[in-house]
Chains A and B, each alone.
Chain A
Amino acid sequence: NAGVTQTPKFRVLKTGQSMTLLCAQDMNHEYMYWYRQDPGMGLRLIHYSVGEGTTAKGEVPDGYNVSRLKKQNFLLGLESAAPSQTSVYFCASSPPSGTRDNEQFFGPGTRLTVL
């Protein structure tokens, strides 16, 4: 099993450009998450999904949109990138609440720089 994979690994954008980050998981997990990780700030939840076709806002959702059209995929979109969105983005997935452990499995991350 590949676990959680993220595409692309690196990206440089200019202010105002748009892009989509793709997350895929092959563990048949119901829940998926997008985080950003910044120095001194730790991991902050952007958006999450508790199942196919559902999404919800996390702690820092502004400037991002998400979609979960298929159970195994979770897309994160930046419509108009800003330098403040320079960060490392991690996707994670987990079994549903009530399942043993409910631990989150993380992808390798996408390093995004917005100039």
Chain B
Amino acid sequence: QKEVEQDPGPLSVPEGAIVSLNCTYSNSAFQYFMWYRQYSRKGPELLMYTYSSGNKEDGRFTAQVDKSSKYISLFIRDSQPSDSATYLCAMRPGGYQKVTFGIGTKLQVIP
């Protein structure tokens, strides 16, 4: 079993829809949770960064962490065609420890 599980998709939604992307994990030591966005043939770019449990909002994006269920989510409101990309969840324990990435979910927002 992988430490981080993420459905690769693809996920297709109409423009304006609310998108929910999720990851589950097995390592209780994870404390820092990230979401990266990766456009085709580009490097990943950090989208959201959360420490421990709770919600964090940034514009149309909301990151949610439920440590009791070992489950993290990224919500995208009013999705746009420009949101079409692969979304990678990532997480790590405290201090310097290597980051573990999910395999990414490919999202397509159809105009």
Contact = CB atoms under 8 A, between A and B. Distances in A.
A42 B44 contact: no
Given A40-B103, A48-B98, A50-B96, A105 B42 contact: no
Contacts of B88: 42-43
B49 A41 contact: no
A90 to B, nearest CB: 6
Nearest to B95: A97
Interface in A1-54: 4, 31, 40-43, 45, 48, 50
Q: Is the interface of B mostly helix, strand, loop or mixed?
A: loop
Contact of A108 (B42, B46, B99, B104): B42
A42 B102 contact: yes
Interface string B31-49: 0101010000111111001
A108 B44 contact: no
B14 interface: no
B8 interface: yes
Interface string B68-103: 000000000000000000001000000110110111
Interface residues of A, number: 25
A86 to B, nearest CB: 16
Contacts of A59: 98
A79 interface: no
Interface string A94-115: 0011100111111111000000
Interface string A73-91: 0000000000000000010
A58 interface: yes
Given A42-B88, A43-B88, A106 B45 contact: yes
B43 A107 contact: yes
The 9 closest A-B pairs by CB, nearest first: A97-B96, A106-B43, A42-B103, A43-B101, A106-B44, A42-B101, A103-B46, A108-B43, A97-B95
